[in-house]
Every structure is written in C-alpha cells, then in structure tokens.
Structure 1
Amino acid sequence: MTPQRISTFTRDGLTFEVSDTGPLDGQTVVLLHGFPANRHSFDEVVPILNAAGFRTLAPNQRGYSDGARPHRSRDYRAVELQRDVLALVDVAGVDRVHLVGHDWGGVLAWQLGAVAPERLTGLTVLSTPHPSAMIRSLVASAQALRSFYVLVFQLPMLPELLLRKKVEPLLRRMGLNADAAAEYGRFMSKHGRLTGGLHWYRALWLPDRRTSRRRLVTVPTTYLWGNGDQTLGRRAAELSGSYVRAEYRFIEVDENHWLPENAPRVVAAAILDDLRLP
C-alpha cells in the first residue's frame, strides 16, 4: 500500500470527514471520538503526536459526518462501525495502525482489537472499559445506576427533546472544559447530528448475525481510566485487563471522563509510550 493524504473517505455511499495530519510516511495513529463529540476532541493531542513524527487520522464517525448519517438505527450496529474504520485505513494507504478510542470510540477500539488484530499495531483506550467487563460490572457494582441514561437513550425522539440546546451546559456540569463543551454544543445543534450520535446507543441491543463472537483482544493494549469518571466506575475498569491476551497496561488518572480534552498531555504521553514499545 502507498500512503496518501485524505480529507474524506467513502464507504457504501457514505462520505466521512477526516483530519489527516503529520508526516505522511510516519507510523499512523487513528483517533476515534465518542458521544457527543467529534474529531476535534483530539485537537490538543494531535500536534504532540505529529511533532513526534507520527501521522494522525481523526474521522467524524458514522452519524457525525454530514455525508454519513443513515436514518435507521440498525445501520449503526457494531459490524458497520468496525467496517467504517477499516475502510478508512484502506483509503489512507496503510496496512496497520495504532488505534486510539475514547467513549464510544473506545468501545469500537476494544472490538477491533479482537476482530481485526491483523490491521493493528496496538490500542490505547480512553475511559471506556472492555464491553464484556462493562456487562459484568452491571451486576457487581453500581454501574447499572451510572448507566441508566443508556436506557433513556433507547426511546424515540424524547432524548433529542431533552438534550436539544442543553448539550453544552450538561457537558460543563459533567466536568468537560468550557471550550470543548461549547464546541460540542454548537456541533450538535445542527439538524440530525444529535440523532446520529444517539443511534449508536439505539443499535446497541439490535441482533446482527454478522457480528463476530470474538471478545479477547490480541494486540498490545493500554487502558487509561479517570477515577473521577461519573459514568464509568472502577469495577469495569479493573475487569478490563482479563479480556486482553497481549501486553497490557492499566493507567489510573486523577481526572474525569473527558481525558482527550481535559488531559491531552497525559493522553499523548501514553500513546507515545505505546508507539515506542518494541
């Protein structure tokens, strides 16, 4: 494969926006945002990685890119999200990438570490525990109470009505810095974007025969968890390592859920440590 600079990529008629920066011949890092963020969640992390000689690809994911927003929640099932990332890697002209994910992007990173290890050199997962660890924690801790909002998000239209014009103040109350909260509030105010992001939650329980049953991650993995996270508790975080069959590091950070935005230097340092491992 020959690396090539991109600003968009297309899969199955959907067009995704991408920020592609850093040396074209450098090792490639793909950065996956979560809800209700966008590719700019890594804006303070990317320059540090680029200065160290690494290429970075930060896409607006399915539902967040204006050209990639299917109307049906079934189009947001895990296998579609995984294939979006692999299509990005192919279009960028690289064989393997280091994958970084936060929040829902972290869920996707854990999944790809299990189902597509041949396309990855490693993972750095931020905030979000391994999906199987999350399920276990629901009956072994207070995680079910922390995750009650996920059930609310399953409802049609009501979450959009509740969150409309309230994204920015809600994020600020959750500890996100003011600049990032304002950016996400503006971003989500455009018609369709909030529904696109919520469809990730609504597709969570939908059956899909195409989904791989592989759960064990087989690439080197670092997991950063903020001990002030209001939505993701310690039990799931500590269980996550049991689903990795490769070199694994768990790093506890004195921060809340918003690691890329609130602690970019800590995040960048962890990624660089992963990239420099032999």
Structure 2
Amino acid sequence: MAGDSAPLSVPSAGVTLAVHRSGTRTGPTVVLLHGYPDDHHVWDRVVPLLDDHDVVTYDARGAGESSAPSARAGYRVERLVDDLVAVLDAVRPDGGAVHLVGHDWGSVQLWAAVFAAGDDPRLRGRIASFVSISGPDLRLYGAYLRTSAREHRWRRLAGQLAKSSYILAFQVPVIPELVVRAAPDRVRQALARSQGLEEDHWADSFGTTAANGLNLYRANAFRSASSPLPEPTDIPVTLVIPVEDDFLSPFLYDGLSHYVRHLSRHEVSAGHWVPWTRPEAVASTVRETVSAAPGTN
C-alpha cells in the first residue's frame, strides 16, 4: 500500500489542483472525480476497497484544497477537461490509459472528456473505461428534455424538471452564495438530513466549495444543454444509476446506447450519494469495469 501524505499540486488553466494518490502503482490507474458540493473526500469509503489499484482523486477547481478561477468562464466544461488532462499528465506521464469514475458533476465533466477523446490528441488513447454515477452529459440531458417535449412525454418531462428545479435557483445572482457562506452549517445539515447522510459528511470548507461550485451551473447548464450532440464513442461506459436519486431520473439514460457503443447499466437501490452510502457497490462495479476493459493496466 502506497499513499501520499500531502496532495500533489498540479497547475492547470489558471488554477492549482490538489491531487491525492493511494493504492499500488503497479495496479491499473483509476481516477475518481467528485461532484457538487463535495470534494475528494466523497470517495473516502470507496478508495480503501480499491487498494490494489493505483487510485487518484482530486479536488475540482474551486473545491476543497484546489484553487478557484477568477472568473465564471473558468468553470466552463472545456476548462474542466483541461484539468483532467493536467492530472493525467501528472500521474501518468507515460501516456498510459486510465479508468475514469465520476459522480454528479464529476461525471458530467468526464462525459465531456470521453466524448472528446476521439478528436482531442491530449486524450486520444488515454481513457480505458468510464464509470458514470448520477451525472449525465449535459448535451444529452438537453436532448432528453427536448425529445420528451416533442413526443409529449409530459409526465417524464415534468418529473425531471421538478428534480432539476434547484438549477434555476442557482442562477439567481449573489443570494445563493450569501446563504451558503453565511450559514454553511445549517445548509450542510439540512442537505445531509434530506439525503440520509451524516451531518459531518462535508468538511469545514463546505461553504467555500458550495459557493464556488454554483458557477458550474451558471457557466454550463443552459449553454451546454443547447450545444450540438456528441459523436458516438467506443470507450466502454458503465452507468451506476441510484433508483432513489432525488435529482436525476433513470429515464435520462434511455437513449444513451446511440452514443455509447459499449454500454452497461447497473441500477442500485440507493439515493444520490451512492459513493458514500453504497461504497461496496461502487467499488465492485469499478473492479468489473476495469477487468473487462481491453489491454490496459
């Protein structure tokens, strides 16, 4: 078992990322990326279950120990993909392929990288597989909403829009930041209770991380959802779908096989924070996905 006592500082597109590494360097490299409003600690229960892998976690820009960009444009998906490239260059300078695992916004940004890997020379051949947990590609999310409306699937459309209503609240200027910065403990406790989590699930940096991360939604939600649809990918993808997710409907992924040629789907009886509440299910799925991916280590 090998691990870093302090994070590796990796510069990327105007920020510095805090990168953590554990496990064994001789195993396959697995990169775990958290969502909103988490930092890398959301994987703390998964990482020990993958101790025979080379496990990399990092705090996304604006979260945890990583620095924040100076402008909202610094949170665009393109910059998040730049961050992944910087991390890969730091942990696998040999250009070897890695296995990606993302939750929530971690999954959203990794989808962008997976779909870009066919054309982006920085990523070509460097992604062996992808496990997506509770985070769709934003372009396909937008397509789902448009298709549901066009085909008069009003119940499905209304259900997902209700689950996503918080995104509109996040577009309000200033007020959301003031709330999470002024009363981070109350926000943290309320969210933990609603999701069946321990009240200390989030660290003391919750207020700053949550305030910064609002820009993920403001910089990307409507812009990316109306962007052209991606070309299909050959990278193997495994979906982990918590069927009790308060924020995302399982129906979101129904047409995904048109864009992912090698797709598996695992439903889990859990809520949104499945890496924390069902770490054994996540670790088992990661192991299966890594083992099935061809010709990587």
Q: Is the 8 A contact 2:188 2:206 kept in 1?
A: no
In the alignment, the residues of structure 2 paired with residue 200 and residue 91 of structure 1 have an alpha-carbon distance, to the nearest angstrom, of 24
1:134 aligns with 2:141: yes
Q: What does the per-residue CA deviation read over 1:17-49, in whole Å, with 9 as the maximum and x for residues that have no partner?
A: 111001123211000100011001111111111
Give 1:144 deviation, angstroms.
Answer: 1.3
Partner of 1:226: 242
Tell me the SS of whatever aligns to 2:21: strand
Give 1:236 deviation, angstroms.
Answer: 0.3
Structure 1 residue runs of 5 or longer lacking an equivalent are: none
The share of aligned pairs that are identical, in percent, is 29
Partner of 1:269: 284
Q: Is the 8 A contact 2:103 2:132 kept in 1?
A: yes
Structure 1 stretch displaced more, 12-21 or 166-175:
166-175
Q: Is the 8 A contact 2:37 2:209 kept in 1?
A: no
| 1:1-278 paired onto structure 2 within 5 Å | 7-50=8-51, 53-94=52-93, 95=95, 96-116=97-117, 117-139=124-146, 140=148, 141=156, 142-163=159-180, 164-165=183-184, 166-178=186-198, 181-184=199-202, 186-189=204-207, 192-205=208-221, 214-245=230-261, 247-277=262-292, 278=294
Q: Is the 8 A contact 1:115 1:212 kept in 2?
A: no
In the alignment, the residues of structure 2 paired with residue 22 and residue 66 of structure 1 have an alpha-carbon distance, to the nearest angstrom, of 21
Give 1:65 deviation, angstroms.
Answer: 4.3
Counterpart of 1:122, as a letter, is S
Q: What does the per-residue CA deviation read over 1:177-232, in whole Å, with 9 as the maximum and x for residues that have no partner?
A: 20xx424152213xx43221111111115769xx9963433200100011100110
Q: Per the alignment, do residues 234 and 97 of structure 1 end up closer, same or farther by CA in structure 2, a change over 3 Å counting?
A: same
Give 1:243 deviation, angstroms.
Answer: 2.1
Q: Per the alignment, do residues 219 and 150 of structure 1 end up closer, same or farther by CA in structure 2, a change over 3 Å counting?
A: same
In the alignment, the residues of structure 1 paired with residue 277 and residue 65 of structure 2 have an alpha-carbon distance, to the nearest angstrom, of 27
Tell me the SS of whatever aligns to 1:121: strand
Give 1:130 deviation, angstroms.
Answer: 3.4
In the alignment, the residues of structure 2 paired with residue 167 and residue 242 of structure 1 have an alpha-carbon distance, to the nearest angstrom, of 39
Q: Per the alignment, do residues 269 and 144 of structure 1 end up closer, same or farther by CA in structure 2, a change over 3 Å counting?
A: same
Give 1:136 deviation, angstroms.
Answer: 3.2
In the alignment, the residues of structure 2 paired with residue 268 and residue 38 of structure 1 have an alpha-carbon distance, to the nearest angstrom, of 18
Q: What does the per-residue CA deviation read over 1:78-122, in whole Å, with 9 as the maximum and x for residues that have no partner?
A: 110001011100011342210000000011121111102522000
Q: State TM-score, norm by structure 2.
A: 0.82
In the alignment, the residues of structure 2 paired with residue 134 and residue 41 of structure 1 have an alpha-carbon distance, to the nearest angstrom, of 24
In the alignment, the residues of structure 2 paired with residue 131 and residue 206 of structure 1 have an alpha-carbon distance, to the nearest angstrom, of 9
Give 1:13 deviation, angstroms.
Answer: 4.3
Q: Is the 8 A contact 2:30 2:54 kept in 1?
A: yes
Q: How many residues align?
A: 266
Q: What does the per-residue CA deviation read over 1:233-258, in whole Å, with 9 as the maximum and x for residues that have no partner?
A: 1220333333212x211111111111
Runs of 4 or more consecutive aligned structure 1 residues displaced over 6 Å after TM superposition? none
Q: State TM-score, norm by structure 1.
A: 0.87
Q: Per the alignment, do residues 106 and 67 of structure 1 end up closer, same or farther by CA in structure 2, a change over 3 Å counting?
A: closer
Tell me the SS of whatever aligns to 2:204: helix
Q: Is the 8 A contact 2:230 2:259 kept in 1?
A: no
Q: Is the 8 A contact 2:134 2:240 kept in 1?
A: yes
In the alignment, the residues of structure 2 paired with residue 151 and residue 16 of structure 1 have an alpha-carbon distance, to the nearest angstrom, of 28
